[in-house]
Amino acid sequence: MNALQDSKAVNLVKKLIADVAQNGIITNTIIDDLKALRPYTITEQLPLLAKATRLAAEHIEEHGTFNIPVPQDEDIEGEDEEIISEVTALESTPEESLHYFFSLIKNIHKKANEDELRIYVKALNEY
């Protein structure tokens, strides 16, 4: 998958990472930034990022935190190359998990990061 190209979008992701690292989860700021990031993902035709940003914003808005743990995945490739993951949650705080989530978005061009972001999206859908 291609990474975000627009410099405003890239800077927004960097801001999200820095904000969580420095201040923890400040819900209104993160929700606003995720909502601001989403149109860039749509414009750049990155549907996984669009879905991930929307689901994360909705989750934080509804729960006041990021209750999705950092996934530890053991990937098994099926016959049609679809990845099936058994997810075991790692011990992590909501801040650590959200920071990792944003790092995956920043480096989505790496296949392993794309796979892990899909695990987050699945977990957000199932929460």
| DSSP labels, 54-123 | HHHHHHHHHHSS--PPPEEEEEEE-TTS-EEEEEEEPS--HHHHHHHHHHHHHTTTSHHHHHHHHHHHHH
Looking up tokens 């940003």 gives 53
* Domain membership of residue 40 as a residue range: 7-126
Domain-embedded: residue 69:
yes
For the segment 20-35, the average pLDDT, to the nearest whole number, is 97
pLDDT tens digits for 66-109? 999 998 755 434 334 444 444 444 578 999 999 999 999 999 99
Percent of residues, the chain, with pLDDT higher than 90: 81
Confidence at residue 34, expressed as pLDDT on a 0 to 100 scale: 98
Indicate the pTM of the whole model: 0.85
Domain-embedded: residue 2:
no
Total domains, the chain? 1
